[in-house]
Structure 1
């Protein structure tokens, strides 16, 4: 006698399955297929893999969450399977300043196959500029400012750019109007800024040289809270992927880093201090939240200690680290990219460069490394299965003919492009924009 489980029970059971298993059970029979294709399950998988909380059923229109998930995965896999011939590159001459570089478009979550990658940079002429990566053309620039920009972040979900200039003025731009949407004069210089879209709305968090964390609403820059975290400058400010925690680190080794409960900064209670805790990790030099384990953070100290293990003496302490699922740590060392478990076991040693890696970038999907000779792309494997990180596309630095004395000072990517900032010794920096065509 066949026993049929209620849809609610099946949905609960299927919620524990990974994507591959969910696709398998959908082929058992019509009832299982109907439940396994539900928007509830596929939206949960989408939110777990991407920061797409701003995507609603209205945005999807006639598409289902399953179609959305599979579409986004296809875009990722196409880039991971790309060959050098699938890329074209554009070079902008003497158009960048060493103040910041960020995607204005981000990894766009649309069903459109003709997506555009937009990057924001600062020009030597004291302008904020937006570039179409595929065309290699400037599509917008601000008026020339009185002071040069010193900091730049973007909030792609809201199509906003936030800058700070040498006069300590914070400005919000939408890259459509010539003038800023809002401005706020800071009492102290800001070393770090973070912009995020939360369930309470869009916010900007700023860490200054006095050790204070400011929180502002966006785009109007209304001050929400000010919290003194240290008696020294804040050099690191990181918000967790689920927007529940804020990590802050000061300049002096005697100050332990702190983690604040974000809601207390976003909605402060009068007369009560925000909930926070110190992390027993002195001399912290960099940190990253683990994108697939929302409440885990990996720290690097100047003595080579990475959270739960100590680097071998022959390994130079890296400037950058990245993490994936809470158990994997990746960082460059010389020409190698090293993948460790959080307990200190070396899992993989990639040697895709002939010369030392001089820049590094990582997010929940990709890892990018650059050297004098090339750019290399890696992809995190779905589900954290061996080999965990897959070596993908290798691009030789053919642009070096145009900038023979340049070195890469910044690199980043989205699903359709890779962008480099190349600093020249005698001239202003240039942008090298690779667009993926496949």
Structure 2
């Protein structure tokens, strides 16, 4: 006798399945298919994978949440399936040496296939510029600024760019109007900036040369809070993927890094200090949050005198102790790199258990306990730049750009080698090194600089 579970019970059971398993159970029979196709289940998977809280049933129109999920996944996978011939390369001359690059376009959640990639850069004339990557054309530029722009970040969800110039002035731009939306002179140079959108609204967080963390609203630049984290310059500032934690690191050898509860910086209480805790490793050179385990952070410390590189992973939590809430950091793993390896400058993470970094010409993937899982040898010369997000890993060297993609499910192969692009742009001007590289679902953009500090912008757009 066949037993039929109520739809509500099936939906509850199916909510524990991953995407692949959900697709499998939908093929069992008509009843299971009906439940497995429900918007409730596919919306939950979409929210778990992407920050798409603003997407509603009205935005989807006639499409279901399953169609939305599969469409977004197809867009993500497109770049990983591309071959060198599928890219169109555009080159622009004369971009500024100092300021970096940032995408103004986000990976927007639409059913449109023809999305544009927009990248922001700075010209030597002291202009902020926006470029259409697919066309290779400048679509907007600011007036010439009095001082050179030294730092920029973007908030793609609101089409905003935030810059800081040599006069220590922060400005907010929408890359449509001629003038900035807001301007704020700062008392000290801001070495690091982070812009994010949260349930409390958009905010900008900066760490300055005096050791202070400022939090401002966007686009108004209204001051929310100021916290003195160190008695030295803040050189690293990283918000966790869920915007719950803020990691700050002072001048490398002098201080312990510190993690703050972001809520206390965004909604400060008068007369009480924000909740925070120190991470007991002084020689921190870089750190990264784990995008799929949002309370986990991995640090790299480097003792140059002893030539030891250690990688340490912590889990963060809040606990009630003696009637008070405190932040606790638990070291869950650490290991030292073998002395034969070249000391890395950058690290990246994926599912909370994997760490990736370049060493010489090789890309290495370790477990957080120190076990070497994969070694990629796709470059002939040392990797000079490295970029990681929850989907892709990009490496560059003097001879090429290489794209990798994280695999789903935490099973081997953890990282897949995808596409290799030779540096044909080097024929334009020799003796260049890549100073910045980024990608979205439809393009790869890099800045190449030579010894005379002149730069070119190289934009690879996908044509498939």
**TM-score normalised to structure 1 length:** 0.98
**Separation (CA, whole Å) in 2 of partners of 1:19 and 1:99:** 40
Question: Partner of 1:337: helix, strand, or coil?
Answer: strand
The match for 2:15 is: 15
**Separation (CA, whole Å) in 2 of partners of 1:345 and 1:119:** 37
From 332, 341, 344, the equivalent of 2:370 is: 344
Work out whether residues 421 and 429 of structure 1, in 8 Å CA contact, stay in contact via their aligned partners in 2.
yes
Shift of 1:38: 2.0
The superposition leaves residues 117-146 of structure 1 with CA deviations (integer Å, 9 ceiling, x where unpaired) of 000001110100000000000000000011
**Matching of residue 411 in structure 1 with residue 437 in structure 2:** yes
Per mean C-alpha deviation after superposition, the further-off stretch among 34-43 and 157-166 is 34-43
Question: Partner of 1:99: helix, strand, or coil?
Answer: coil
Shift of 1:397: 0.6
Shift of 1:66: 1.3
**Separation (CA, whole Å) in 2 of partners of 1:293 and 1:273:** 27
The match for 2:400 is: 374
Distance 1:252 1:373, change over 3 A: closer
The match for 1:96 is: 96
Question: Partner of 2:43: helix, strand, or coil?
Answer: helix
**Matching of residue 310 in structure 1 with residue 339 in structure 2:** no
**Separation (CA, whole Å) in 2 of partners of 1:281 and 1:2:** 60
The superposition leaves residues 342-391 of structure 1 with CA deviations (integer Å, 9 ceiling, x where unpaired) of 00000000001111111100000000001111110000001122111000
The match for 2:329 is: none
The superposition leaves residues 305-356 of structure 1 with CA deviations (integer Å, 9 ceiling, x where unpaired) of 1111111111122111000000000000011000000000000000011111
**Matching of residue 292 in structure 1 with residue 297 in structure 2:** no
**Matching of residue 210 in structure 1 with residue 246 in structure 2:** no
Shift of 1:55: 2.8
Distance 1:158 1:356, change over 3 A: same
The match for 1:434 is: 460
Question: Partner of 1:53: helix, strand, or coil?
Answer: coil
Distance 1:364 1:278, change over 3 A: same
The match for 2:319 is: none
**Separation (CA, whole Å) in 2 of partners of 1:84 and 1:113:** 20
**Separation (CA, whole Å) in 1 of partners of 2:441 and 2:448:** 21
**Separation (CA, whole Å) in 2 of partners of 1:343 and 1:242:** 24
The match for 1:26 is: 26
Question: Partner of 2:163: helix, strand, or coil?
Answer: strand
Q: What is the aligned length? A: 438
Shift of 1:196: 0.3
The match for 2:322 is: none
Per mean C-alpha deviation after superposition, the further-off stretch among 398-407 and 168-177 is 398-407
Instruction: Structure 2 unaligned segments of length 5 or more: list them.
Output: 304-308, 313-333
Instruction: Structure 1 unaligned segments of length 5 or more: list them.
Output: none
**TM-score normalised to structure 2 length:** 0.92
The match for 1:326 is: 352
The 5 A counterparts of 1:177-196 are 177-196=177-196
Work out whether residues 54 and 157 of structure 1, in 8 Å CA contact, stay in contact via their aligned partners in 2.
no
The alignment yields a C-alpha RMSD, in angstroms, of 1.2
**Separation (CA, whole Å) in 2 of partners of 1:432 and 1:422:** 7
Question: Partner of 2:375: helix, strand, or coil?
Answer: strand
**Separation (CA, whole Å) in 1 of partners of 2:230 and 2:57:** 43
